[in-house]
A and B are shown apart, each in its own frame.
Chain A
Amino acid sequence: MFLDQASLDTLFRVKGVLASETSPEVRGQLEDIGFLTGEQVTVLRKGLFGKGPILVRVGSSTFALRENEAKLIELETVAP
Chain B
Amino acid sequence: MTESKIHFFAKEPLVALLGNPNCGKTALFNLLTGSRQKVANYSGVTVERKEGNLTLASDKVIRILDLPGAYSLYPRSLDERVTCDVLHGRAAGEKKPDLVLCVLNAMNLRANLRLVLAAKRLGLPCVVVLNMVDIAKRQGLQIDIEALANELGMPVIPTVGIQSRGADDLKAYLSQLDWRNLATLSNTSIDQGDETVIAHSEHIESDNIQVQRILKNLHLDHVIPDHFSDRLDTVLLHPVIGPIILTVLLFFIFQAVFTWAVYPMELIKDSLDWLGGLITQFLPDNWFRSLLIDGILAGVGGVLTFLPQILILFFFILALEESGYLPRAAYLLDRLMGRAGLSGRSFIPLLSSFACAIPGIMATRSISNARDRLITILIAPMMTCSARLPVYALLISAFIPHTKLWFDLDLQGLVLFALYLAGILGAMGVAWLLKHFTSKQFKVNALMMELPSYHLPRVSNLAISLWQRAEIFLRRVGGIILLMTVALWALSSFPLPPEGATGAPIQYSIAGMLGHALSIVFAPIGFNWQISIALVPGMAAREVVVSSLATVYALSSTGADAASALVPLISSTWSLATALSLLAWFVFAPQCLSTIATVKRETGGWKIPIIMLSYLFFLAYLASFITYRISLFFGLG
Binding site for B on A (CB under 8 A): 20, 22-23, 25-26, 28-34, 36-40, 44-45, 47-48, 51-53, 55, 57, 59-66, 68-69
CB distance from A43 to the nearest CB of B (A): 13
Count chain A CB atoms within 10 A of each CB in B237, B447, B451 and give the residue with the most: B447
Q: A23-B444, A40-B223, A61-B111 are in contact. Are A29 and B335 (CB under 8 A)?
A: no
A57 to B233, CA, bound (A): 13
Chain A residues with Cβ under 8 A from B440's Cβ? 22
Say whether, besides A28-B197, A47-B335, A60 and B224 are in contact (CB < 8 Å): yes
Sampled A-B contacts (18; CB under 8 Å): A22-B441, A22-B443, A26-B446, A28-B76, A32-B74, A33-B111, A36-B204, A47-B335, A52-B334, A53-B344, A53-B447, A55-B331, A57-B225, A60-B223, A60-B224, A61-B110, A66-B447, A66-B448
Determine if A44 and B448 form an interchain contact, defined as CB atoms under 8 angstroms apart: no
Beta-carbon contact of B239 and A33 below 8 Å: no
Say whether A62 contacts B74, CB under 8 Å: no
Q: Mark B99-137, 1 if CB is under 8 A from A, else 0.
A: 000000001111100000000000000000000000000
- Assess whether A69 is in contact with B335, with CB atoms less than 8 Å apart: no
Mark B residues whose CB is within 8 Å of A: 71-72, 74, 76, 107-111, 197, 200-201, 204-205, 208, 212, 223-225, 229-230, 233, 237, 239-240, 327, 330-331, 334-335, 338, 343-344, 368, 440-441, 443-452
> Which of B111, B344, B445 has a CB less than 8 Å from the CB of A64?
B344
In the assembled complex, which residues on chain A have CB atoms less than 8 Å from the CB atom of B334? 52-53, 64, 66
Identify B450's interface contact among A23, A38, A61, CB under 8 A: A61
Whether B450 lies near A62 (C-beta < 8 A) is yes
How many A-B residue contacts, CB cutoff 8 Å? 111
**Nearest-neighbor residue (CB-CB) of A46 within chain B:** B239
- Once A28-B76, A47-B239 are accepted as A-B contacts, the answer to whether A33 and B204 lie under 8 Å apart by CB is no
Bound Cα distance from A29 to B450, whole angstroms: 12
Are B208 and A37 in contact (CB-based, < 8 A)? yes
Knowing A38-B212, A59-B111, A60-B108 touch, does A66 contact B446 (C-beta < 8 A)? yes
Q: In the complex, what distance in Å separates the CA atom of A20 from the CA atom of B454? A: 33
- In the complex, chain B residues whose CB is within 8 Å of the CB of A61: 108, 110-111, 450
Task: Determine the chain B residues whose CB is within 8 A of the CB of A23 once the complex forms.
Answer: 441, 444
User: Inside 8 A of B330's CB, which chain A residues have their CB?
Assistant: 64
CA distance A53 to B237 in the complex (A): 12
Q: Are B76 and A65 in contact (CB under 8 A)?
A: no
Q: Report if A34-B331 is in contact (Cβ < 8 Å); known contacts: A26-B446, A64-B447.
A: no
Q: Which of B233, B335, B445, B446 contacts A45 (CB 8 A)?
A: B233
Name B451's contact: one of A22, A30, A38, A63 (CB within 8 Å). Answer: A63
In the docked arrangement, what's the CA distance between A51 and B239, Å? 10
Measured in the bound complex, the distance between the Cα atoms of B89 and A70 in whole Å is 36
Contact, CB under 8 Å: A69 / B446: yes
Contacts of B71 in A (CB 8 A): 32-33
A64 near B110 with CB under 8 A, answer no
10 more contacts with CB within 8 A, not counting A23-B444, A48-B240, A64-B447, are A20-B444, A28-B197, A33-B71, A36-B205, A47-B335, A55-B233, A55-B237, A64-B334, A66-B338, A68-B444
